[in-house]
Amino acid sequence: MKVGFIGLGNMGHAMARNLLAAGHELSVYNRTREKAESLRQQGARVADSPADAARGVEVVFTMLADDAAVEGVAFGGSGLLAGLGQGALHVSSSTISVALSERLAEAHAKAGQRYVAAPVFGRPAAAEAKQLWVVAAGAKADVERCRPLLEAVGRGLSVLGERASAANVVKLSGNFLIASMIETLGEAFALTRKSGIEPKVFLDVFQSVFARSPIFENYAVQIAREQYEPAGFKLRLGLKDVRLVLEAAGAAEVPMPVASLVRDHFLSGMAQGKGDLDWSALGALAAERAGLDGK
């Protein structure tokens, strides 16, 4: 299949490479061109603009950091909407707001194009190992059309119906669960440390009693070791996602007090210059609030 891929950060680069490995013909674009050049050596064509990456392909992926980045590559004279052909499909794998996802669906429909939201769960290592979990929504025929591509980048796929933004609601809800889990882990480690219990001891108990999910266990290890670099997912992006959760909750009139609390802790981290640490640095903030020294 002829595929465009826009956004070659830690996640996007690995996803694009897995699409190449699956035998698809790829055109790639990244704002920093150097990140695209390594994929040229593996057979990809390096595009000069988002419109160029989308031109002549059946499906174009976007995998970018936030709403502003997606808007920047989607709209305007050099945006992917300008290059994508009639009936061609945009698969948005970015974690973006529900409102932007709905705007994209409307814009593609007006242009005679198709749109599927397909954000993913997993960190860069999972993307490398093709272990992402994809949540997709959009017209049934469109999801089926891109299913081979979605299966090429992950270990599984959940299809959530025909309203594309439903996938964004599920992705944001999932990230809220992770953020809440990190916060409670941080508080539990802070309490046990201040009570004179070594983090390694509590980690052993946690792994023996509570650990059934690799996500839960991995973040517990990071907090116990105070290992917040390198960032698999930056704290500033965690703040962005929780803000989007609260935006969606406000629109749906759903009170989420814990989400508001977690947002405030992320804001504290930003104010202290921790925005580029892994978002598990919520554990460091919990320790500081308890009067504990870091490493």
* Residues noted as catalytic: 171
CA angle 79, 84, 89 (to 5 degrees): 115
Whether 89 and 114 have beta carbons less than 8 Å apart is answered as yes
| Closest C-alpha among 292, 276, 10 to residue 127 | 10
User: What's the CA gap between 63 and 78, in Å, rounded?
Assistant: 17
Pairing of strands 120-121, 45-46: unpaired
Whether 144 and 131 have beta carbons less than 8 Å apart is answered as no
Pairing of strands 59-62, 45-46: unpaired
Whether 138 and 168 have beta carbons less than 8 Å apart is answered as no
